[in-house]
Amino acid sequence: MADFLLKTEPSTYSFADLQKEHQAMMSNATLSSTMESDGATDGSFLTNTTNSVYKFREDLSLRAPVDLPQMRLFEITIYRVRAGHEHDFETLAKEYAKAFESMPSVRWAVFEKMYGVGSGNTFIVATPMKSMSDVDQEVMDDSKLKSTVDAAQLKSMRELGDKTIEESESKLFAISRKMSYVPASWAAESPDFWGKK
């Protein structure tokens, strides 16, 4: 099990802010008690756990700030970059962001692994979605890529990807209301989902 820092605030968010947020969460008696109880219950079923910290890369993201309380799904793609090719990955991400910039429905947020196994060459691309129809839209948008870049540029991007990315894996996750800890304001903004017990 991994704990990811998924922050889409401006890049001024710091590790000092992370510490303050963690302390605030741990000072919440109800939350701490629930986490301890759940940890004791889950303990007999777990063989190991891992924790990781990721940094939001605003410079590699495309229209990342979204109305999170309205989101119901996340497509998460993990990229493991070949050693020494981190800069190439940054270049590649920026080229794709430029290519999709004209498509208003396309958005993603990029996070770089700072701590944990694979730190330094692991990136997560998170795409928030309101419904499964967004997956259909994503497929249609991908098919339009050939119309936004010429054949030579597309070939160059694919070759750079082959040289840069060691492996990648995409998964689609549904947000669980019961397993989430969110601000009270989310219930007011999206009562049909977050307002339900």
Which residue, 184, 172, 195, 188, is CA-closest to 72? 172
The answer to whether 112 and 57 have CB atoms below 8 angstroms apart is: yes
The answer to whether 136 and 147 have CB atoms below 8 angstroms apart is: no
Confidence label for 49 from pLDDT (cuts 50, 70 and 90):
confident
The whole-number pLDDT of residue 137 equals 94
Residue 169: alpha-carbon gap to chain centroid: 13
Residue-wise pLDDT for 184-193, tens only, equals 889 889 999 9
Domain assignment present for residue 116? The answer is yes
**Taking the complete model, does pTM exceed 0.85, yes or no?**
no
Which range of residues forms the domain containing residue 90? 54-176+185-189
119 against 97, higher pLDDT: 97
User: Which of 39-43, 47-51, 56-60 is predicted least confidently?
Assistant: 39-43
Residue-wise pLDDT for 11-34, tens only, equals 566 778 878 877 887 788 877 787
The strand pairing partners of 171, in sequence order, are 76
The answer to whether 53 and 21 have CB atoms below 8 angstroms apart is: no
Q: For 73-188, where are the E strands, in sequence order?
A: 73-81, 108-115, 122-129, 165-174
The answer to whether 61 and 109 have CB atoms below 8 angstroms apart is: yes
Cα separations (Å) of 42 from 30, 35, 47, 141, 178? Answer: 18, 10, 10, 41, 16
Report the CATH number that the domain containing residue 139 is assigned in CATH. Answer: 3.30.70.100
User: Which of 10-14, 20-24, 79-83, 163-167 is predicted least confidently?
Assistant: 10-14
Q: Tally the domains of the chain.
A: 1
In the predicted structure, residue 130 carries a pLDDT above the cut 70: yes
26 burial type by CB count under 10 A (0-12 exposed, 13-18 middle, 19+ buried): exposed
Domain assignment present for residue 46? The answer is no
Confidence label for 84 from pLDDT (cuts 50, 70 and 90):
very high
